[in-house]
Amino acid sequence: MTKLIAVLAVTAIVLSIATGTATARTRADANIVQTAVAAGQFKTLVKLLTRAGLAGALQKAGPYTVFAPTDAAFSKVPKKTLNALLRNKAKLKAVLLYHVVSGKVTAADVAKLSTAKTLSGKSVRIRLSGMNVFVNSAKVTKADVTATNGVIHVINRVLIPPAL
């Protein structure tokens, strides 16, 4: 039994490293934006936050909860959609705010919710499937990446609000 547990633990670590989720490390004094930059897998998100004028807001006291799509998640968005968002700052801002919830909502809290109202004014649907948590259709791949002003939950898809 001990060998099985050790093998499972090593497998989880290897899978975590292989999928890039182990890179989401934080410093005790880093805010959400600094934490995202340091992780190295949120370059597109940080660039878009800056372009939309939201990076400064996410460096303030908060607390905030960010469902953060990785660069790989952004690569799944059709170029046409991404280019349209880049040309329309209001829509870009709406999409990005759809990833942010006011307050610090940890994984334990998220697991108890069925919806969460985002700073865009629209709600995301939260559901559990086995051991996985989904926000709309995005899977949480790493939870509870802490920052001084909140928490990041890494997701594998970009959330697009309804009627955008």
Neighbours of 157 (CB within 10 A): 19
pTM here is 0.80
Q: What is the pLDDT of residue 155?
A: 96
Q: What is the pLDDT of residue 58?
A: 83
CA distance 120 to 141: 23
Q: What is the pLDDT of residue 164?
A: 67
Q: What is the pLDDT of residue 68?
A: 96
On whether the CB atoms of residues 70 and 92 are closer than 8 A, the answer is: no
Residue type, 8: L
Q: Show the domains of the chain with their CATH numbers.
A: 25-155 (2.30.180.10)
| pLDDT averaged over 10-residue windows placed end to end, the chain, 164 residues | 30 33 52 89 91 86 93 93 91 94 91 92 94 94 92 95 80
Q: What is the pLDDT of residue 112?
A: 87
How far is the CA of 109 from the CAs of 8, 80, 133, in angstroms? 26, 36, 11
